[in-house]
């Protein structure tokens, strides 16, 4: 099964400590066989703060993996906002709530003006699912174009456009895939080919949807062909959906040139729909769709939308506190600075097994390769588990599972970056 290489093998349960083995067995019995655990030796975490987490024995780990607690684990402002609102009231969007309106206006202020509406869901999966419903209602079309190893969520609809999930016998007839924007790939031409292929099947395109950091494809921050791809989907009557669930809320860094919290801003694009999720409430389940008003109107003409928990006052409080911290602590600028230093340090690693190193802000990918420069999944798996042994948490990803995925909480600092690079060099040296 494709996917991250870093999962626990259930057959190895007997090698664990008695307590861990007991928890793993009870968990498998109750949660069933579709769940996975990270690492050869699963990790039982009990506390977090900033970019650090602690296990049950009090051992501290540097978190280089979790992009959800974006402003830092258990950030006191977010925790206080949740606790205070929960103690007052938690209802839903069919009553008026001033804070929800204020947050919606605040959030929309970070987008280009043509993106005038926001709709709230609980997960990125729900956001992408709703966005596809909107795209279909607005265009009247069915076809969807995604990258080869795309991941856009786990509802039936978005799992069908997420080849990285594995388990697909074949793509749905209304889906076409294109290459991720590795060097030499012409994204615009690829979209033209995909549209032609849909047309041969009598299907017109509703949407081109891309994660603007191409995370599950192996992290590609410089998608030079993306404007041409967007032009092609527009010319064919489809819309462009920027999936910002992973790159959004400032992770890709911000400088004068890219004055945006959003990945599409780096590429100089103006999407028709944008989906948000993971870091939006720093771990609290809130996500959403930002859209052109005319697209929402086309959707609304066919039916209302109500998500029981989506945009409830407690979720909104978590999201507002998170957005406030992102700005007040200038985390996009911080991510740009630390990420840039980390990228440079990783590229200076003097080891032929370190292949391409790509990244923007605090979203980086490091390819590990064998002597012939080919993807080395086994090495990547070893490195991930060896780093866990050194109390550094990350994972491997990408279509060949050989890309170390580096996307820590945004409070990750220069000293953390130095520690990561030093330990990675040590782990590689041990395997020389």
Distance CA 383, CA 367 (A): 12
Q: Which is nearer to a copy of itself, 259 or 301 (CB)?
A: 301
307 touches a copy of itself by CB under 8 A: yes
Residues 282-301 that bind a copy of itself (CB under 8 A): 282-286, 291, 293, 296-297, 299-301
Shortest reach from residue 430's CB to a copy of itself, in Å: 25
Kindly state the tokens that stand for 331.
């985390």
Residue 116: CB minimum distance to a copy of itself, A: 7
Among 177, 212, 216, 315, binds a copy of itself (CB under 8 A): 315
Rounded Cα distance between 317 and 165, Å, is 32
Structure tokens at 252: 């890709």
Minimum Å distance from CB 223 to a copy of itself? 24
Residues 6+ apart with CB under 8 A from 93: 100, 120, 306, 307, 310, 311, 312
Among 44, 60, 351, 426, binds a copy of itself (CB under 8 A): 44
Give the residue from 159, 271, 147 showing the smallest Cα distance to 211: 147
Asked if 341 touches a copy of itself (CB under 8 A), the answer is no
Nearer to a copy of itself, 24 or 187 (CB): 24
Which one among 70, 97, 139, 178 touches a copy of itself, defined by CB under 8 A? 97
Rule CB under 8 A: choose which of 9, 11, 18, 31 binds a copy of itself: 31
Distance (Å, whole) CA 272 – CA 253 = 22
Q: Identify residues 213-252 at the interface with a copy of itself (CB under 8 A).
A: none
* Closer residue to a copy of itself in complex, CB, 83/196: 83
CB of 142 to a copy of itself, least distance (A): 11
Question: How open is the CA angle 227-231-237, to the nearest 5 degrees?
Answer: 145
Phi-psi region of 387 (alpha: psi -120 to 50; beta: other; left: phi over 0): alpha
Q: Which of 13, 68, 193, 421 binds a copy of itself (CB under 8 A)?
A: 68
User: What tokens were used for 146?
Assistant: 């995604």
**246, 68 in Cβ contact below 8 A?**
no
What is the rounded distance in angstroms from the CA atom of residue 210 to the CA atom of residue 207? 10
- For residues 118-177, which are near a copy of itself according to CB under 8 A? 118-126, 129-130, 132-133, 154-157, 159, 165-168
């Amino acid at each position: 099964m494709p996917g991250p290489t870093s999962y626990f093998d259930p057959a190895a349960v007997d090698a664990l400590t008695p307590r861990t083995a007991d928890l793993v067995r009870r968990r498998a019995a109750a949660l069933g066989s579709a769940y996975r655990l990270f690492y050869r030796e699963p990790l039982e975490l009990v506390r977090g703060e900033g970019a650090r987490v602690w296990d049950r024995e009090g051992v501290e780990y540097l978190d280089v993996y979790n992009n959800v607690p974006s402003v830092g684990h258990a950030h006191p402002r977010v925790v206080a906002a949740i606790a205070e609102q929960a103690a007052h009231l938690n209802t839903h969007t069919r009553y008026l709530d001033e804070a929800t309106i204020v947050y919606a206006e605040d959030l929309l202020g970070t987008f280009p003006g043509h993106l005038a509406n926001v709709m709230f869901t609980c997960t990125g999966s729900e956001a992408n699912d709703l966005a596809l419903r909107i795209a279909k209602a607005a265009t009247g079309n069915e076809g969807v174009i995604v990258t080869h190893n795309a991941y856009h969520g786990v509802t039936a609809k978005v799992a069908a456009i997420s080849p990285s999930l594995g388990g697909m016998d074949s793509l749905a007839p209304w889906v076409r895939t294109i290459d991720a924007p590795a060097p030499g790939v012409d994204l615009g031409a690829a979209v033209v080919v995909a549209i032609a292929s849909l047309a041969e099947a009598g299907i017109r395109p509703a949407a081109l949807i891309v994660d603007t950091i191409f995370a599950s494809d192996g992290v590609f921050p410089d998608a030079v062909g993306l404007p041409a791809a967007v032009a092609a989907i527009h010319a064919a009557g489809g819309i462009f959906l920027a999936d910002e669930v992973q790159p959004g809320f400032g992770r890709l860094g911000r400088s004068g040139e890219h004055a945006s919290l959003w990945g599409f801003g780096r590429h100089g694009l103006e999407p028709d729909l944008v989906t948000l999720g993971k870091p939006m409430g720093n771990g609290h389940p809130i996500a959403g769709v930002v859209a052109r008003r005319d697209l929402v109107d086309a959707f609304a003409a066919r039916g209302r939308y109500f998500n029981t928990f989506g945009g409830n006052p407690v979720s909104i409080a978590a999201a507002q506190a998170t957005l406030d911290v992102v700005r007040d602590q200038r985390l996009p600028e911080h991510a740009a600075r630390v990420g840039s230093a980390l990228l440079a340090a990783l590229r200076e690693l003097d080891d032929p097994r370190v292949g391409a190193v790509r990244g923007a802000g605090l979203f980086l990918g490091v390819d590990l390769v064998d002597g012939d420069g080919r993807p080395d999944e086994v090495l990547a798996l070893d490195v991930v588990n060896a780093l866990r042994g050194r109390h550094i948490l990350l994972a491997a990803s990408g279509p060949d599972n050989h890309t170390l995925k580096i996307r820590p909480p945004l409070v990750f600092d220069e000293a953390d970056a130095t520690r990561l690079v030093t330990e990675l060099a040590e782990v590689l040296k041990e395997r020389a």
